[in-house]
A and B are shown apart, each in its own frame.
Chain A
Amino acid sequence: MEFAFTIRGDMDKNRVVAICRQAEAADFDYAWFFDTHVLWRDLYPQMAVAMEHTSKLRFGPCVTNPQVREWSVAGSLFGALAVQSDGRFDIGVGRGDSSVRVVGKRPATVARMEQFCEAMKGLVRGDPVTYDDRPEPVTFDWTGGYELPLWVAGYGPKALAAAGRQGDGLIVQLAEPALCQWMGDAAKTAGTEAGRDMKDYRVMACAPVWVGDKETGVAQTKWFPALVGNHIADILKWYGSDTREVPEALTAYVQQRKGSGADEGYDYKQHTQMDDENSYYVSDETTEAFCLIGPAEAHVAKLRRLEAAGVTQFNIYLCSGEEERQIAEYGEHVIPHFRQQ
C-alpha cells in the first residue's frame, strides 16, 4: 500500500514545505495538491517549491481537468514539473468540479476528458499532438520523453470506464471498501475490454482522516461526504436510483441526505471547509463510512479492508485540522503496518 496526502492551496507556503519534508521522512509516497485556482492559490508554483525541499516524494494535481487551462499550457506545466523534479510527477484528471463551477462553467464530458488524457500523455512524451481547433500540432522537444503516470477520477459507470481505458490508475474519492471494490472493478473491466493488461492497474482511495476519538473525528471530517454527495447525486440523476449500474450503498446515501447539491445552491466558496454550511445534511454513519476516524488501530483495520478491496494507494485529504499530528500518527502508528510484508 502506498500512502499519500493532499494539500489544499490555502495553507501557508512554509508550512506546506515543512509538511512535505515531514511526510517524506515519515515514508509517505505522494504529495497531491487540489487544483482550484480561484478558491485557493495556484498549486503548480507551490508544488515547484515543495519539490526543491524533497528528493523522493512524488507530486501531482488531485485533480486537474480539461476545462481550466488551454491544453498546451497545461501540458507545459506538467512537462516542466516532471523535468524540475527529476521525474517525480504524476497527474490526476477529472471532469472538473469546483474549479469550473465556481466561475459558472460546466464540467467536461467524459469523451473530452479522455481526449485530454491522451493529449497530456502525448505532449509530455514529446509527441506532436493536435487537438481542438489548433491549426498545427504542438510538440515539446524539451521533456526528455517523460512517460507521465496518469490517474483518472470517476464515480459513474462512464467515467470509471474511461479511467480503465486511459488511466494508469483510478482515483476514488471516498474510503468505503465495498464502493472502492465496485469502482475499481468497473474500471478494470473496461480496461480489459479495451485490450489492456490491468494487472498493474492502481487504485487510489482518498478521504480525510482523524486519529483520535470518534466524536471529534466526525465533526472534523463531515465536510467530506457533503462534497462527495455532489458527484454521487449527479450520477444518480443520470443513471437513476434503481438501476443495477449503481450500487445500493450509493443510492441509500443520497436518499438520506438533505440539502442542496451542486446545481441547487451548494456554496463552492465553502468547498472543503470544516464547519461549512454545506455539511448539515450528512449523517454520522455516512461520515464514518467515507472517512477514516478513530484510534490508530481502526485506521489500520480499515486500510486492510481497502487493500483487500483492491486499493493500492491511500490518500489523506489534509484539511481537517491538526495536519502535522495526523501525518506523524500515520508515520508512527499506521504506515509501518504496511511496510513489514
Chain B
Amino acid sequence: MEFGIAFKGDLDHKRMLAISRQVEAGGFDYIWFFDSHIIWSDAYTQIAASMQHTDRVRYGPLVTNPKVRDWSVAASIFATLNRMSGGRMDMAIGRGDSSMRVMGKKPATLATLTQSVEAIRTMVSGESYSYDGSPNPVFMDWTEGHNLPVWIAAYGPKALKVAGEIGDGLIIQLADPGLCQWFIEQAKAGGEAAGRDMSNFRVLSCAPVWIGDVETGVKQTSWFPAVVGNHVADIVEKYGRDTDLVPDSLTRFIETRQGAGADEGYDYRKHAVKDSDNLYYVNNAVTESFCIVGPPEVHVEKLKQLEAAGVTQFTIYLTQGDEERLVAEYVDKVIPHFR
C-alpha cells in the first residue's frame, strides 16, 4: 500500500512546506494538491515550491480537469514540473467539479476527458499534437519524453469504464471498502474489455481521517460526505435507484441525506470547509463509512480491508485540523503495518 496526502491549498505557505518535509521523512509516497484555482490558490506554484524541499515523494493535482486550462498550457505545466523534480510528476484528472461549478460551468463530457488525456500525454511525451483549441500542431521539444502517469477520478459506470480503458490508475473519492471494490471491478472490467493487461492498474482511495475519538472525528470530517454526495447524487439520478447499476448503499446514502446537491444550491464557496452549511444532511454512519475515524487500530483494520478490495494507495485529505499530528500518527502507528 502506498500512502499520500492531499493539500487543499489554503494552508500558510511555510506550514505547507514544513508538512511536505514531514511527510517525506515519514515515508509517505505522494503529495497531491486540490486543483480549484478560484476557491483556493493555484496548485502548481505550490507544487513547485514544495518540490524544492523534498527529493523522493511524487506530486500531482488531485484532480485537474479538461476545461480549466488550454491543453498546451496544462501540458507545459506538467512537463515543466516533471523536469524540475527529476521525474516526480503524475496527473490525476476528472470531469471538473468545484473549479467549473464555482464559475457556473458544467463538467466536461467523458469524450472531452478522454481526448484531453491523450492530448496532454502526447505533448508531455514530446510528440506533436493537433486539437481544436490550437490552429497549429503543438510540439514541445524540451520535455525529455516523460511518460506521464495518469489517474482518472470516477464514480459512475461510464466514467469507471473510461478510467479502466485509458488510466494508469483510478481515483475513488471515498474510503468505504465495499464501494471501492464495486468501483474497481468496473474499471478493471472496462480495461480488460479493451484488451489491456490490468495487473498493474493502480487504485487510489482518498478521504479525510481522524485519529482519536469517534465523536470528534465525525465532527471534523463530516464535510466530506457532503462533497462526495454531489457526485453520488448525479450518478443515482442518472442510472436510477432501482437498477443493479448502482449499489444499494449509494442509493441509501442519497436517500438519507437532506439538503442541496450541486445543482440545487450547494455552496461551492464553502467546498471542503469544516463546519460549512453544506453538511447538515450527512448522518454519522455515512461519515464513518466514507472516512477513517477512530483509534489507530481502526485505521489499520480499515486500510487492510481497502487493500483486500484492490486499493493500492490511500491518500489523506489533509484539511480537517491537527494536520501535523495526523501525519505523525500515521507515520508512527499506521504506515509501519504496511511495510
Measured CB to CB, the residues of A under 8 A from B are 9-10, 13, 37-38, 40-42, 44-49, 51-53, 68-70, 72-73, 76-77, 79-81, 83-84, 102-105, 134-136, 138-143
Contact = CB atoms under 8 A, between A and B. Distances in A.
Which 6 residue pairs spanning A and B have beta carbons closest together?
Answer: A104-B135, A45-B48, A104-B136, A76-B37, A80-B42, A80-B41
Given A69-B69, A70-B68, A84-B49, A41 B104 contact: no
B84 A49 contact: yes
Contacts of B41: 76, 79-80, 83-84, 140, 142-143
B103 A136 contact: yes
B76 A38 contact: yes
Contacts of B280: none
Contacts of A73: 37, 42, 68-69, 73
A135 B46 CA distance: 29
Contacts of A42: 44, 73, 76-77, 79-81
Given A68-B73, A69-B70, A10 B138 contact: no
B44 A45 contact: yes
Contact of B70 (A68, A79, A80): A68
Contact of B76 (A41, A47, A76): A41
A92 to B, nearest CB: 17
Contact of A84 (B46, B76, B140, B269): B46
Contacts of A51: 49
Interface of B: 10, 13, 17, 37-38, 40-42, 44-49, 51-53, 68-70, 72-73, 76-77, 79-81, 83-84, 102-104, 134-136, 138-140, 142, 269
16 contacts: A40-B142, A41-B76, A42-B81, A47-B45, A48-B49, A52-B17, A68-B73, A72-B103, A73-B68, A76-B37, A105-B134, A135-B104, A136-B104, A140-B41, A142-B10, A142-B41
A81 to B, nearest CB: 5
Contacts of A135: 103-104
B58 to A, nearest CB: 15
Contacts of B72: 37-38, 103
Residue with the highest number of chain A CB atoms closer than 10 Å, among B41, B69, B135, B140: B41
B136 A102 contact: yes
A138 B38 contact: yes
Nearest to A47: B45
A127 B207 CA distance: 33
Given A45-B84, A76-B42, A80-B46, A37 B136 contact: no
Given A41-B83, A84-B45, A72 B104 contact: no
A37 B13 contact: no
Contacts of A77: 37, 42, 44-45
A105 B135 contact: yes
Contact of A41 (B44, B80, B134): B80
Interface centre among B44, B45, B51, B102, by most chain A C-beta atoms within 10 angstroms, is B45
Contacts of A72: 37-38, 103
Contacts of A13: 83-84
A51 B53 CA distance: 13
A37 B49 contact: no
A329 B46 CA distance: 34
Contacts of B37: 72-73, 76-77
Contacts of A52: 17, 49, 52-53
A140 B73 CA distance: 21
A31 to B, nearest CB: 15
A309 B8 CA distance: 48
Nearest to A85: B13
Contacts of A104: 134-136
A265 B80 CA distance: 28
